[in-house]
Amino acid sequence: MPQPPNDDAVLLGDNLDLMPAFTGESFQLAYLDPPFNTGSTQRRRTLATVTGPDGDRVGFGGRRYASRLLSESSYRDAFDDYLGFLEPRLREVRRLLDPTGTLYFHIDYREAHYVKVFLDELFGRDCFLNEIVWAYDYGARARRRWPAKHDTILVYVKDRGRYWFDAESVEREPYMAPGLVTPEKAARGKLPTDVWWHTIVSPTGREKTGYPTQKPEGVLRRIVDASSRPGDWCLDPFAGSGTLGAVARKLGRRFVLMDSSAEAVQIARARLETTKAA
């Protein structure tokens, strides 16, 4: 018998098997960051370097460094029928959303248009709220086309007339042309638009877990602040490194995370053990 969520949890298993265990309309917010169907294997390596005369790398001033592999994570990101993979999972997510709830679906340019057409059918075109563009400046430099430096986050609400959105709780950002507004407005900053400029997770930053495709907490913080309230339940069926859970805990929300990778679940659980609640 389906039950409402009771404890913050990181669950190991196929989300299609795990989600039916929860009562419908249990979650205020669902964030999905599924594999992007890039057709390649996503890898992330974590190295440690120490100085030494026999090192295999040469750095500034001719100093030699030796590298040691601390960890390596990977997963295969390829599907013959991507929408066939997503469809039953998205139907479950919609069932689990509260009538005032919101879905944030994180995807890249390869599949964004096809997924939007399906979400229009599933939620209704009138329940499409935003297409957020998360822009960053990192990665490969293409020479035969414009380099792809953004992800898309499709935002849908369960009920267009009832959804929760709190613009005042979102951290404001500086005006790009502060001289064109009053000093008071410039000091206060502005509400972010549907284009978010935010760096990726720094390879040397404190957030880094070593998991491939880890998303930065700053992006998730805007989502959680805007579309949930303290005490609300948040769902991430493709949890990866557990960023949604870390942000939810810091902001006083509850969460259920799911992933089919034992490695991802281990990383997320270890991360959350050191994440302090609000």
Neighbours of 100 (CB within 10 A): 19
Predicted TM-score (pTM) of this structure: 0.84
Neighbours of 211 (CB within 10 A): 26
What is the pLDDT tens value at each position of the chain, 278 positions in all?
A: 999 999 999 999 999 999 999 999 999 999 999 986 655 554 444 444 466 666 665 554 566 655 454 444 443 545 679 999 999 999 999 999 999 999 999 999 989 999 999 999 999 999 999 999 999 987 778 889 999 899 999 999 999 999 999 999 999 999 999 999 999 999 999 999 999 999 988 877 888 887 887 899 999 999 999 999 999 999 999 999 999 999 999 999 999 999 999 999 999 999 999 999 97
* Domains annotated on the chain, with CATH: 9-39+78-273 (3.40.50.150), 42-76 (no CATH)
Measured in residues, the chain has a length of 278
Question: In the numeric block, which tokens belong to residue 252?
Answer: 């006083």
